[in-house]
Amino acid sequence: MLKNVVLVGPQLLRPFTVKIAHKSCTFSSAAALGNVGFQHRTPSQYQRPVPSLCSHVSSRRASLLSCVEKYRVQNRHQSQSAAQTPAEGIQKHISALDTRRPLRKRAVREDKDGEDEKVPKREEWEVTAYATAEDYDMDVLADALEKQGLYKLSAMPEDMHDTLHVSANYPVGTESREIYFFSEGTVVFWNIPQLEQMAVRKFLRHIETSSNMAYDDELVDKEAESMQYTYIMGMSKLGNGKIFLNNDGPSQLDKYAFSNSMALSVKLGIWEASLDRYVDSIKWVTEAMRAGQKISISRREVLRKTGELFALRHLINLSSDLLDTPDFYWDRENLEAIYNKMGIHLNISRRTRVMNEKLNHCCELADLLKAHLNDVHHVRLEWLIIFLIAVEVAFEIERWLLK
């Protein structure tokens, strides 16, 4: 309520403040009163306003009281409407599986170490990574590349048995064109034009069989990763969302470290898309449970869904390097730093953790379905036993009556 609002003569140049209950509202009337001020006073401290302004202040005081009353009525209506909102409406369209991963899997982070590379304008090229199949047969791929004759295989360390590195036989420009093939079904192009990338992907389709499960082209393009790279003086590094390669010596292994992280990222993107499709396929179960409807699903279907979950979990946690650094970087600290920095840039650890959390939730739902089907099966068996007992009792009664 409004308490003891008066005009104070010595404070004519301040904005006035009105206290309503526990709230405080400040108003300014510089145009009408020349910044006349109001201040809270007790009855004993009451001072009469300036006589020349009494009539004008009275009208302004009346308008102020009307504004205050409107403010109180508006707050009362808002509180009542909030209290009358049904709680069940909040949860009406919320499902535990309505979660989607962000479209952008990485964000450019400003790196102070790379600011000195902004000043001189350097020529830049593009590196692009794709995941085209579940895996590659590296021996078949190497033979096919040699027969094609467009690329030559490069000698790699012995502990890189799961990777093929090739360079173009016919150079175009000053920068070489190189490709890294990884056994988990990923390929990374360094300075390869778009038309040549499409040709290589078409070539890979011929060596991909049903055993390694080629991915759909639309999905492959959607989950691709692309970055810019250039050369600098000094050690190779990642900065400002770009790859900086050492210009002093061979950069083959540095490119491999960058390519390894990018290949892992696009492969994880394919698995994320698979999990999203799985979540969409079982979303109706949570909706039916929330609505109290009957769940019509067979035990065989539940077993198949559970198998899909464990197969995906096996790929992520056991058959990939998402949870650990490959042994190749054990005695190569500079390459390990590049690999880890690239993994942080692509948010690989965070995305893996989110996927495992989603998989855990889906496994809990699958266990719930299996428990529900087991309960239904047990109830059927109990009713069958009751029916058989009733038949036996009927026969006994009939035999007793005949005697």
Q: In this predicted model, what pLDDT tens digit does every residue of 304-336 receive, in sequence order?
A: 888 888 889 888 888 888 888 888 888 888 999
Instruction: Please report where in the chains the tokens 């002093």 appear, as a residue.
Output: 248
Residue 139, classed as helix, strand or coil, is helix
**Pairing relation of β-strands 178-182 and 237-239?**
unpaired
pLDDT tens profile 329-382: 888 889 999 999 999 999 999 999 999 999 998 888 888 888 878 877 788 888
| CA–CA distance, 293 with 116 (Å, rounded to integer) | 63
CA distance 222 to 130: 9
pLDDT of 199 reads: 93
Q: Which residues contact 183 (CB under 8 A, 6 or more apart)?
A: 135, 136, 138, 162, 163
Q: Distance between CA 166 and CA 243 in Å, rounded?
A: 20
Q: Provide the 8-state DSSP code for 329.
A: G
CA distance 264 to 344: 12
Assess contact for 105 and 265: CB atoms under 8 A. yes
Q: Are 234 and 152 in contact (CB under 8 A)?
A: no
Give the helix/strand (H/E) hosting 250.
Answer: none
Residues in contact with 361: Cβ distance below 8 Å, sequence separation at least 6, in sequence order: 96, 97
Q: Which two tokens stand for residue 7?
A: 């005009």
pLDDT at position 192? 94
Tokens of 130: 């794709």
End-to-end CA, the chain: 95
Cα-based distances in Å from 50 to 26, 65, 106, 304, 315: 22, 20, 67, 88, 84
Quick check: 84 pLDDT over 90? no
Confidence of residue 268 (pLDDT cuts 50, 70, 90): very high
What distance in Å separates the CA atoms of residue 211 and residue 140, rounded to the nearest whole number? Answer: 13
Look at the block and give the residue holding tokens 């038949």. 391
**In whole angstroms, what is the distance from residue 240 CA to residue 106 CA?**
12
| pLDDT tens track for 118-163 | 445 678 999 999 999 988 988 899 999 999 889 999 888 888 888 9
CA distances for 331 relative to 202, 260, 291, angstroms: 37, 17, 58
Helices H / strands E in the chain, number of each: 9, 12
User: Of all helices (H) and strands (E), which one includes residue 239?
Assistant: strand 237-239
Which tokens hold the place of 333? 């600290």
What are the b/e assignments for 29-56, b being 16+ CB within 10 Å? beeebeebbbbeeeeeeeeebeeebeee
Q: What is the dihedral of CA 383, 387, 390, 396, to 10 degrees?
A: -140
CB 99 within 8 A of CB 232: no
CB 373 within 8 A of CB 337: no
Does residue 72 carry a pLDDT above 50? yes
